[in-house]
Structure 1
Amino acid sequence: MCLDAETIKEKMKGIVEEKINNPHLKDTLQTFINEKNHFAFGALAFKHYVAFDGKHYSDITLLASGIELLILAFDILDDIEDEDNLDKEWMKIDQSISLNAATSLYSISLQVICELKTNSDFPRLAMKYALNAMQGQHNDLENFPETEDECLQMIKQKSGSLTAMSAVLGTMLANGEFNEEIENYSYKIGIVKQIENDYYGLFNKNRSDIRKGRKTLILLYLKRRFNAASEKILDLMNAEASYHSFLIDNKKSFEDLLFDAGVSQYVSMLIKMYEEEITTSIKDLNIMLEL
């Protein structure tokens, strides 16, 4: 049994077709759905459903699609708030229309997810994870973190809550039970993905992190100013035009600079640590699960 990207995308479109009557809003949402090419959260829910012997393909397809509608809503809101990814369809039109579309997707997604309830905890947990993600996003927008520990906690809320939603609800849909161990390690999956995203974002001139001085884990690490390479990277970041020029003309030199500053090793060490903890937790549960 497998759940491919095209199946999820078509189900997302079907949900919108069923739930939305306004023809222009419906067309707008379908256009936004067409922008999606990655369905990692839906896949995570599916893998946990299968690992715990879920049998109903239609149910997990609906859950995975509902979760991906929620992720799309958050992606749109995130891009508008951060002024990122200007090539996306929702960034090319009137922002008020995109905002309304995002809130429509948010409402539809939670309706679909909560209607699948296996017990009273199912909708409660869905709402908890969605709200926690929004609170983490608020701290990110406020540029709240002052330390790496505070930043990791923010990432756990913002990104980890969505991976926790996927894994926990996928499991509950299969067996009706909440599993705290799954919640704990799925938060870590979200942290790993965000750390990777922030690292590769250093090479993306379209990301607003540098322009807005976002306190990512990497920036907070650099601000500890361990060596001359850290100082040079911070100087480049403070002069945004110089940073992007340097990045375009000297990508390999920039990679070397990140290594000399200890950033590459720091990121790799964190990812390895979390991945080992995730692997140990999965082994302890004695389930067949490939992430």
Structure 2
Amino acid sequence: MNNCIPLIAQQMQRLVQRYFTAEPLLRYAELFIEDKLRETIRFGQLTVIHYQMFGGKSDEPYEAAAAVELFVLASDILDDLQDQDAPDKLWMQIPQPIAIHVATALLTLSQQAMLGSTVNDEIRIALLEMMNTQLLLAANGQMLDLANDITDEQSYLEMVKLKSATMLQLACMTGVLLAGQPWNPIVAEYAMEIGMAAQIQNDLRDLLRWDDKSDLLKKKRTMLTLYLIESEEEEDQWIKAYFQGDISMEDILLKRELFLETCERSGTILYGSVMSRMHYNRFEELLNSIHEISPWKPTFLSIINQEIT
């Protein structure tokens, strides 16, 4: 499956070179894509493998996979600009108006790429409708995340479904639709479960960090920080006090070891791990129900396990 990565990358580069004629726009877009390629393009891989799993035979999926990756890249840039938690990224080191402009241009380019990914008008319309629907869902989720007023586990899970899981749905369903198949509710559901499992794992990492992405230091309300805030143990009340503004960050910075001990003792780490695994198990259950795609299962799982771990 790794052999599709260069083909997706080539399509991404071809698209910006074709449509971005202003030299600064092209230069920054190419640099941002280079940064993306140093990490992963698993979303594009998911598009390609779903195209193959559902009977696609031509070379069509690579431009659609590039469209998905451009969409994800633009979303990541805007997310970093809004959260201000990725200072090492190139788009955080240039004037913000330029970074915003490049991101919005890439978002538009992703739609243009999806439009050009097939000559079949019926499939083209289905792809664009699905892409715009997912974009709007993700926009709602991002707004809920930025508001940072999650109050319980259910509202957290609803936010994650909108913000993160929709991206996995986009990647998987693009391949399904491009292969000429209708919207598949089982694929949509297992993509949602993958997204939930991956986001909880990401929250676990960010809970234990002690840098710009630390959910504790940023007072980020996630399922895991809520678990800590709601602790009735007297020795854990300092965490709730910090979120309420009664303790300064300077004081919190002295409590790193105590915080790590608290996460372990309170069962927060175990809770997050169990919840992530629960969603992953549901994904596997749904995947196993589609018997026609069993030959592709090992390759598919290898991509997914990179996303989850």
Same fold (TM over 0.5): yes
Match of 1:76 in 2: 77
Distance change in 2, residues 1:18/1:217 (3 Å): same
Distance change in 2, residues 1:239/1:50 (3 Å): farther
Return 65-74 or 207-216, whichever deviates more. Answer: 207-216
Q: 1:222 aligns with which of 228, 238, 245?
A: 228
TM-score, length basis structure 1: 0.90
| Aligned-partner residue type, residue 54 of structure 1 | G
Match of 1:116 in 2: 117
Distance change in 2, residues 1:276/1:81 (3 Å): same
Match of 1:266 in 2: 271
The structural deviation recorded for 1:121 is 2.2
The structural deviation recorded for 1:93 is 0.8
Q: 2:171 aligns with which of 162, 166, 170?
A: 166
Write the distance in 2 (CA, Å) between the matches of 1:95 and 1:126. Answer: 26
5 Å matches for 1:136-175? 136-175=141-180
Matching of residue 205 in structure 1 with residue 214 in structure 2 = no
Q: Gaps (5+ residues) in structure 2?
A: 305-309
Matching of residue 38 in structure 1 with residue 47 in structure 2 = no
Matching of residue 48 in structure 1 with residue 53 in structure 2 = no
Distance change in 2, residues 1:236/1:6 (3 Å): farther
The structural deviation recorded for 1:255 is 4.2
Match of 2:92 in 1: 91
Distance change in 2, residues 1:170/1:239 (3 Å): farther
Match of 1:231 in 2: 237
* Percent identity of paired positions between Structure 1 and Structure 2: 28
Write the distance in 1 (CA, Å) between the matches of 2:8 and 2:254. Answer: 40
Matching of residue 125 in structure 1 with residue 130 in structure 2 = yes
Contact 2:126–2:177 (8 Å) recurs in 1: no
Match of 2:183 in 1: 178
The structural deviation recorded for 1:46 is 1.9
Q: 2:290 aligns with which of 282, 285, 288?
A: 285
The structural deviation recorded for 1:127 is 0.6
User: Any idea what the Cα deviations from partners look like across 1:11-36, whole Å, max 9, x if unmatched?
Assistant: 21111001111111100111111111
Please state whether the residue corresponding to 1:177 is helix, strand or coil: coil
Please state whether the residue corresponding to 2:289 is helix, strand or coil: helix
Please state whether the residue corresponding to 1:86 is helix, strand or coil: coil
| Aligned-partner residue type, residue 138 of structure 2 | A
Return 140-149 or 5-14, whichever deviates more. Answer: 5-14
Write the distance in 2 (CA, Å) between the matches of 1:31 and 1:269. Answer: 39
Distance change in 2, residues 1:232/1:46 (3 Å): farther
Match of 1:15 in 2: 15
| Aligned-partner residue type, residue 258 of structure 1 | C
Match of 2:307 in 1: none
Contact 2:173–2:187 (8 Å) recurs in 1: yes
Distance change in 2, residues 1:255/1:125 (3 Å): same
| Aligned-partner residue type, residue 104 of structure 1 | A
Write the distance in 1 (CA, Å) between the matches of 2:11 and 2:250. Answer: 43
| Aligned-partner residue type, residue 29 of structure 2 | L
User: Any idea what the Cα deviations from partners look like across 1:196-248, whole Å, max 9, x if unmatched?
Assistant: 1111012151216434422111111212114356435556775434444544x
Write the distance in 1 (CA, Å) between the matches of 2:234 and 2:163. Answer: 32
The structural deviation recorded for 1:152 is 0.4
The structural deviation recorded for 1:85 is 0.5
Q: Gaps (5+ residues) in structure 1?
A: none
| Aligned-partner residue type, residue 24 of structure 1 | P
User: Any idea what the Cα deviations from partners look like across 1:103-141, whole Å, max 9, x if unmatched?
Assistant: 000000112123335253221111100111111001111
Write the distance in 1 (CA, Å) between the matches of 2:201 and 2:241. Answer: 23
CA RMSD of superposed structures (Å): 2.1
Distance change in 2, residues 1:25/1:232 (3 Å): same
Return 102-111 or 40-49, whichever deviates more. Answer: 40-49
| Aligned-partner residue type, residue 180 of structure 2 | N
Contact 2:210–2:217 (8 Å) recurs in 1: no
Write the distance in 2 (CA, Å) between the matches of 1:48 and 1:239. Answer: 49
Contact 1:46–1:170 (8 Å) recurs in 2: yes
